[in-house]
Amino acid sequence: MNSWDETENHGSPDPVYADAGSGSPDVREPLFSEQEYAHRLHRVREKMAHQGLSALIVTDPANLFYLTGYDAWSFYVPQMLFVPAEGDILLFLREMDARGAFRTSWLPEHQIIGYPERYVQRPHLHPFDWVAFALRRRGQIAPSAHGCVGLEMDAHFFSPKGYRALVNAIPEWSLVDCFELVNWVRSVKSDAEIHYMHVASRVTTAAMTAAIDAIEPGVPQNRVAARIAAAQAEGDGEAWGDFPAIVPMLPTGASADTPHLTWSDRVLRSGDAVVVELSGVHRRYHVPLARTVTLGPPSDAMDRLEEAVADGLRAVLDATAAGVPIRELASAWNWKLASYGLEKPSRLGYSVGIGYPPDWGERTISIRSEDETVLEENMTFHLICGMWMTGYGYEVSETIRVTSTGVETFTSFPRQIIRK
Amino acid sequence: MNSWDETENHGSPDPVYADAGSGSPDVREPLFSEQEYAHRLHRVREKMAHQGLSALIVTDPANLFYLTGYDAWSFYVPQMLFVPAEGDILLFLREMDARGAFRTSWLPEHQIIGYPERYVQRPHLHPFDWVAFALRRRGQIAPSAHGCVGLEMDAHFFSPKGYRALVNAIPEWSLVDCFELVNWVRSVKSDAEIHYMHVASRVTTAAMTAAIDAIEPGVPQNRVAARIAAAQAEGDGEAWGDFPAIVPMLPTGASADTPHLTWSDRVLRSGDAVVVELSGVHRRYHVPLARTVTLGPPSDAMDRLEEAVADGLRAVLDATAAGVPIRELASAWNWKLASYGLEKPSRLGYSVGIGYPPDWGERTISIRSEDETVLEENMTFHLICGMWMTGYGYEVSETIRVTSTGVETFTSFPRQIIRK
């Protein structure tokens, strides 16, 4: 941690970490090569130039992780990565978090700066008041002669108060929305990222297997959740599990008509259909999967849904390959569903990869007719065929990778209704 | 769900829920009485009047839950509760979530409004564009002759883009920060809330017991996390567990000098000290707890910390009672620690209760010398005595309730270092 400004820093950071040198189990090897991190930053700066940005303010924890490797449950307080068009990028964290950031980030010490504890959760202060002044002291507030400064205007942990702090403290800057700039760079994965998703898929398979084993009449939902959560962390013995950005969802019975209710102690009974939506995670990379389990034979309506959705999903997978416009996937799905007299008003899927609560989606590409993206190799999506009908619901999903000639799925779980 | 505006609504909501009437296991009983919800709203409106607000925009999911009972993992898309000084409060959710909101919220159908799917995650649209227009159509945008409209300017899921949408669409409003208005109302718990925290404390005890059982040399951190996560959902057989707002933290060895690193497959070894910080949760109410486990005898430095912290914590508990200023607790702690030649630069604790990821703290009262709050009966705090030293760390915590004459702790776990 850098204590460049003694008058502003509170407490005296101690740079001596006795037992934490390289080779210590408490300092993690960077997940990706130096070249890969450099390439990511290069692609971000290319996009910045293209969007006329002289600097970028990054706050989304998934984007911080992507660019710096920094990984901790500290995003409930403000954090910021400052990315100038050239020169050092600077990571601003709460002081107690900045101390240990070197354990997960590749950034050298002088690029990690802790803001004082007294700015945390105070009514008329915001950490970005301090950060803005710190940037000014470092000569980073050149009037934006060469462009605007980009902000992640719709990131989950960038509040209006943090935004106003920057507006007030740095009147020289012309602030504009960067429109999920880093998220868009993330949409095409490197081979190393695909590797981590393959490891995650083994955790997914372990967790879905645990779910299906646990679902029985007489068992409360929270016990099923317990088995899933254990498998999500344990993994399959070799592939270990990281925490998921979304807890396991178990819409059951009539409440399966809405997708996002979390578990309770509601007891499963014969005749119930239980939707399971979960993700295996490895080093923040997610591979989500959904299946539907019925206790007893499925209703006729459910049987028809199964057939229609299987047909629709097959049509989408057949249509998928690099070079294909996203809207053609939406169209393949909608046509097939229409032939069964069905429609799905919500999107069919979204770009997926690194995730922190509350979402494993990347907030960029959605598979729907309004989306204008063209598929590229190594884009990854969660195709979620969720049909939330009146009084019941059915889901089946796949996480896919777009290849040059088609598509691969990360898991190979049977797609049928699981009849128990 | 209310489809008051046919021209704006997309899809045709079907109000018939065959198997979901009262008595169905898929509709939850309201957690609190009608009187209690009415009283909460009354206290919020009193505070609004006091702060000169003619309306309040609520976006924090914990505040939505507190006022409406609505509980689902849908806060990764924008949500809003509109609270006028008088008349119906209105809950705006994504259409697919609005459909099932009646399963957890006490609000009548006509006060729950779904915004169309096409506003979700689009570059030049925001759901609050639609919501602002919906408020206008309902005659809720009176020029603020009678006061300002309060916003939760520092809530986790209220983005600058959502803020700008309101600024642009409703120029008649004078928008001001409400300074965590609802969070402050939440700081004093009702007896019914204290009851749920007592249930949660049983889940906490089960989870901490599972953690201590699992911590052994040769075991990877993620396996310990698996055991904890299972116990957090399973509970103790009678008290069932809801999902925690923060995953279990297991700072180990040298990395215990920073509190917020999450688990990996790092294998525990003889000589390690492992800090365990976790929460049991019941129906969104949290009772966090931290303990430190050593594998083998603790170091001398750790022994000294244990004694100092135990003394400090006792001094704080002795000083706690309704009517005492918060700063006196901070002072009792700081004096005692100073007598051991120690200091803790971060806050000693914070108000706790309802939580959604990423935080179980209420973002109001912090136990530190700058805080000007005076303790009231049924305030609840997580007192977290975390000492993050260079190359090691020690934590012990209690969740407490302030009583008229003193304090009670929610759990009764021994406070010593757990030596294994």
A177: three-class secondary structure by DSSP: strand
- Least confident range from A164-168, B9-13, B370-374: namely B9-13
A96/chain B closest Cα distance in angstroms = 6
Is residue A16 one of the residues assigned to a domain? Answer: no
Sheet holding A175-177, edge to edge: A112-115, A90-94, A80-84, A53-58, A148-151, A175-177
Return the residue of B nearest to A11 by Cα: B345
In this structure, are A165 and A224 located in the same domain?
no
Is residue A26 one of the residues assigned to a domain? Answer: no
Q: Are strands A80-84 and A90-94 parallel, antiparallel or unpaired?
A: antiparallel
**Smallest Cα–Cα separation from A162: which of B366, B153, B151?**
B153
A366–B120 CB contact, under 8 Å: yes
CA B64 to chain centre: 12
Is residue A7 one of the residues assigned to a domain? Answer: no
Contacts of A117 in chain B (CB under 8 A): 345-347
Domain boundary among A186, A216, A236: A186
In this structure, are A181 and A196 located in the same domain?
no
> Angle at which helices A127-137 and A160-169 pack, to 10 degrees?
30
B240–A264 CB contact, under 8 Å: yes
Q: Residue A166 above 70 pLDDT?
A: yes
Q: Residue A69 above 90 pLDDT?
A: yes
Render B345-368 in DSSP notation, one character per residue: -S-SEEEEEEEETTEEEEEEEE-S
Question: What tens digit of pLDDT does each residue of B306-321 get?
Answer: 999 999 999 999 999 9
- Which of A164, A252, A345 is closest, CB to CB, to B117? A345
Q: Residue A215 above 60 pLDDT?
A: yes
A81/chain B closest Cα distance in angstroms = 17
Residue A1 confidence (pLDDT): 39
Is residue B8 one of the residues assigned to a domain? Answer: no
Contacts of B70 in chain A (CB under 8 A): none
In this structure, are A202 and A53 located in the same domain?
no
Q: What is the mean pLDDT of residues B394-418?
A: 97
In this structure, are A171 and A244 located in the same domain?
no
- Least confident range from A132-146, A200-214, B55-69, B356-370: namely A132-146
A18: three-class secondary structure by DSSP: coil
Residue A355 confidence (pLDDT): 98
Residue A144 confidence (pLDDT): 54
Q: Residue B163 above 80 pLDDT?
A: yes
In this structure, are B201 and B132 located in the same domain?
no
Is residue A17 one of the residues assigned to a domain? Answer: no
Token code pair at residue A204 = 């997914």
**For all residues of chain B together, what is the average pLDDT?**
93
In this structure, are A68 and A145 located in the same domain?
yes
Q: What is the mean pLDDT of residues A35-51?
A: 98
Contacts of B241 in chain A (CB under 8 A): 222, 226
Q: Residue A231: pLDDT band by 50, 70, 90 thresholds?
A: very high
CB of A315 closer than 8 Å to CB of A332: yes
Q: What is the DSSP letter of B125?
A: -
Tally of residues, chain B: 420
Handedness of CA B153, B154, B158, B159 (dihedral sign): positive
Distance, in Å, from the CA atom of B23 to the CA atom of B9, rounded to the nearest integer, reads 30
B233–A235 CB contact, under 8 Å: no
**For all residues of chain A together, what is the average pLDDT?**
93
B259–A96 CB contact, under 8 Å: yes
- Which of A163, A255, A357 is closest, CB to CB, to B26? A255
Q: What is the mean pLDDT of residues B117-135?
A: 96
In this structure, are B158 and B174 located in the same domain?
yes
Token code pair at residue B406 = 């003193």
- Which of B121, B233, B350 is closest, CB to CB, to A226? B233
Residue B13 confidence (pLDDT): 38
Q: Which residues contact A237 (CB under 8 A, 6 or more apart)?
A: none
A11–B345 CB contact, under 8 Å: yes
| Helices marked H in A175-216 | 181-186, 191-214
Token code pair at residue A78 = 């403000």
In this structure, are B293 and B230 located in the same domain?
yes
Q: Residue B129: phi, psi to the nearest 5? A: -60, -45
Distances (CA, A) of A14 to A24, A276, B262: 18, 48, 22
Return the residue of A nearest to B230 by Cα: A226
- Which of B158, B243, B345 is closest, CB to CB, to A262? B243
Q: What is the mean pLDDT of residues B122-138?
A: 96
- Which of A222, A233, A347 is closest, CB to CB, to B226? A233
CATH code at B166?
Answer: 3.40.350.10
Is residue B10 one of the residues assigned to a domain? Answer: no
What total number of domains does chain A contain? Answer: 2
Q: Which residues contact B160 (CB under 8 A, 6 or more apart)?
A: A151, A153, A154, A158, A159, A160, A162, A163
Return the residue of A nearest to B162 by Cα: A154
In this structure, are B264 and B411 located in the same domain?
yes
Domain boundary among B185, B215, B244: B185
Distance, in Å, from the CA atom of A225 to the CA atom of A108, rounded to the nearest integer, reads 40
- Which of B18, B179, B230 is closest, CB to CB, to A123? B179
Q: Residue A68 above 90 pLDDT?
A: yes
Is residue A21 one of the residues assigned to a domain? Answer: no
B252–A96 CB contact, under 8 Å: no
Contacts of A235 in chain B (CB under 8 A): 222
In this structure, are B142 and B201 located in the same domain?
no
Return the residue of A nearest to B71 by Cα: A261
Domain boundary among B185, B207, B228: B185
Q: What is the mean pLDDT of residues B43-50?
A: 98
Q: Quote the percentage of chain B above a pLDDT of 70.
A: 94
Question: Virtual CA dihedral for A224, B278, B182, B31, nearest 10 degrees?
Answer: 40
Contacts of B226 in chain A (CB under 8 A): 229-234, 241
**Residues spanned by the domain of B351:** 191-419
Q: Residue A18 above 80 pLDDT?
A: no
Question: What tens digit of pLDDT does each residue of B272-305 get?
Answer: 999 999 999 999 999 999 999 999 999 999 999 9
Distance, in Å, from the CA atom of A352 to the CA atom of A196, rounded to the nearest integer, reads 13
Is residue A59 one of the residues assigned to a domain? Answer: yes
Q: Residue A12 above 90 pLDDT?
A: no
Return the residue of B nearest to A24 by Cα: B254
Q: Which residues contact B339 (CB under 8 A, 6 or more apart)?
A: none
- Which of A356, A357, A388 is closest, CB to CB, to B96? A388
Distance, in Å, from the CA atom of B41 to the CA atom of B29, rounded to the nearest integer, reads 19
Question: What tens digit of pLDDT does each residue of A265-308 get?
Answer: 999 999 999 999 999 999 999 999 999 999 999 999 999 999 99
A267–B25 CB contact, under 8 Å: yes
In this structure, are B179 and B197 located in the same domain?
no
Token code pair at residue B347 = 């806050």
Distances (CA, A) of B69 to B31, B63, B195: 7, 9, 16
Contacts of B154 in chain A (CB under 8 A): 126, 159-162
CB of B259 closer than 8 Å to CB of A96: yes
A280/chain B closest Cα distance in angstroms = 13
Render A80-133 in DSSP notation, one character per residue: EEEEESSS--EEEEEHHHHTTGGGT--S-GGGEEEEPGGGTT-TT--HHHHHHH
In this structure, are A218 and A118 located in the same domain?
no
CATH code at A273?
Answer: 3.90.230.10
Residue B145 confidence (pLDDT): 58
Residue B266 confidence (pLDDT): 96
Q: What is the mean pLDDT of residues B199-225?
A: 98
